[in-house]
Amino acid sequence: MKYAYYPGCSLDATGVEFDTSNKLVAKKMGFDLVEIPDWNCCGASSAHAVNHMLALALPARNLAIAEAEGFDTVAIPCAACFARCKTTAFEAQSSPETKAKISDIIEMDYQANIEILSFLDLLGKKIGLDKIKPHVIKPLTGLKIASYYGCLLVRPAKIAQSDDPENPMVMDNIMAVLGADPVEWGYKTECCGASHVMPVPKVGQQMIHDILKNAQINGAEAISTACPLCMINLDMRQKQLNAQLGTNFNIPIFHFTELVALSFGYSPKEIGLSKHFVSSENLIKDTLSTGARSDGA
């Protein structure tokens, strides 16, 4: 089974482990992720803040190429790319004039009929939990994991058409299938602040802090994400937060496919877990042993 794959700019750079684990999972499960040839940046947040048609044309080009290559489905790991592509498709489907204009700009015939899925929905819904289960050889038994979806995967609900915008469950269900213990917590879909932490650190840091705090209070040992920017915000900034806000966060953050890959038997080294800022070494060791905890949890 072949799916078009749109990594987007971040999966080549700061989110490179997400790309790695996606491909490892695909390999083990036996489906092909075919990178869209000659893909361009989707524009993410910068484009739609500048020019409406540009913001639609950039993702449309990638989708048009995928359509031309004959794909029915494109899987998009980055939540922002996913949101932009879904928006483009939605607007093109709602208005033939817009679709024509986009096709004109990109000089390609954009049909707006390719199925656009986040990598989460590809794995959890389209391919299905029952296809994941047989490959779980090292269940993540007892791992208390908070599934963090972020804001762009489920909102705006009319465009994302993904999961329940208030209480999505796809990732929680995947974690359960891996043998882990998804925790009930209140910040599943709260925004991490995206890039705000840079220009307005006070605001951005507070947003990241609130997510980590709520996960911690609800007993999460780690957080699983499905967006490279969310992941990096939660992972990279913990030390900074501890210094600025006097907290004591030490919560390993994962791309959800990293956990899937782990349970499939790949080693932390193969997955590239050492690239993370907050070390998950001990947690993984404990989890994949008999399930007993060294910290008595």
Partner 1 sequence: MKRIGVFICHCGSNIAATVDCAKVAEAAQAFPGVSFSSDYKYMCSEPGQEFIKDSIKKYDLNAIVVASCTPRMHEHTFRKTLANGGLNPYMFEMTNLREQCSWVHSDIEKATAKAIDLVRMSVAKVAKNEELFSSTIPMHKKALVIGAGIAGMQAALDIADAGHKVVLVDREPTIGGKMPMLDKTFPTMDCSACISTPKMVEVAQHPNIELMAYSEVVEINGFIGNFDVTIKTKAKYVDHAKCTGCGLCETKCPKKVPNEYDLGMGLRSCIYKPFAQAVPNKPVIDAQNCRKLVEGKCGVCAKVCPTGAIKYDDTESFTTDTFGAIVMATGYDLFKWEDVYGEYGYGKYPDVVTGLHFERMVNASGPTGGKLKRPSDGTTPKTVVFIKCVGSRDSAKGKSYCSRACCMYTAKHAHQFLDKTPDGNAYVFYMDVRTPGKGYDEFYESTLRDGAVYLRGRVSKIYQEGGKLIIKGEDSLIGKQVEVTADMVVLATAMVPSAGSRQLAQTVGFLPDLNGWYQEAHPKLRPVETPTAGVFLAGACQGPKDIPDSVAQAGAAAAKVCGLLSKSQLETNPMTAKTNTAICSGCGTCIPVCPYKAIQLESITERDHHGHRITRNVASVNNGLCQGCGACTVICRPGAIDLQGFKNDQILEEVDSLWM
The residue among 6 and 148 lying less far from partner 1, judged by its C-beta, is 148
CB atoms within 10 A of CB 37: 11
Site for partner 1 in 227-286 (CB under 8 A): none
State whether residue 241 is helix, strand or coil. helix
- Interface pick for partner 1 out of 5, 18, 187, 266 (rule CB under 8 A): 187
The residue among 44 and 183 lying less far from partner 1, judged by its C-beta, is 183
- Interface pick for partner 1 out of 184, 281, 292, 294 (rule CB under 8 A): 184
Q: Binding of partner 1 at residue 161 (CB under 8 A)?
A: no
How far are the Cα atoms of 22, 249, 264, 271 from residue 28, in angstroms, in the given order? 10, 34, 8, 13
Burial 199-236 (b: 16+ CB within 10 A, else e): eeeeebbebbbbbbbbbbeeebbbbbbbbbbbbbbbbb
- Interface pick for partner 1 out of 166, 282, 289, 292 (rule CB under 8 A): 166
Q: Binding of partner 1 at residue 203 (CB under 8 A)?
A: no
The residue among 165 and 265 lying less far from partner 1, judged by its C-beta, is 165
Q: Binding of partner 1 at residue 200 (CB under 8 A)?
A: no
Q: Binding of partner 1 at residue 297 (CB under 8 A)?
A: no
The span from the CA of 156 to the CA of 59, in Å, is 17
Closest CA to 223 of 262, 256, 197, 267: 256
Q: Nearest distance from residue 201's CB to partner 1, in Å?
A: 19
Q: Binding of partner 1 at residue 217 (CB under 8 A)?
A: yes
Considering only the stretches 91-99, 139-147, 164-172, 245-253, report the one whose residues sit in contact with partner 1 under the rule CB under 8 A: 164-172
The span from the CA of 277 to the CA of 223, in Å, is 13
**Residue with structure tokens 């329940």?**
164
Widest distance between CA atoms in the chain: 62
State whether residue 2 is helix, strand or coil. strand
Considering only the stretches 15-23, 61-69, 161-169, 284-292, report the one whose residues sit in contact with partner 1 under the rule CB under 8 A: 161-169
- Interface pick for partner 1 out of 139, 165, 179, 268 (rule CB under 8 A): 165
Q: How many residues touch partner 1 (CB under 8 A)?
A: 11
The residue among 42 and 215 lying less far from partner 1, judged by its C-beta, is 215
Q: Binding of partner 1 at residue 179 (CB under 8 A)?
A: no
At how many degrees (to 10) do helices 201-217 and 228-236 cross? 90
Considering only the stretches 44-52, 185-193, 200-208, 235-243, report the one whose residues sit in contact with partner 1 under the rule CB under 8 A: 185-193
C-alpha atoms less than 13 angstroms from C-alpha of 207 in its C-beta half-sphere: 20
- Interface pick for partner 1 out of 94, 167, 267, 279 (rule CB under 8 A): 167
Using CB under 8 A as the criterion, which residues of the chain lie in contact with partner 1 when the complex forms? Answer: 164-167, 184-187, 214, 217-218
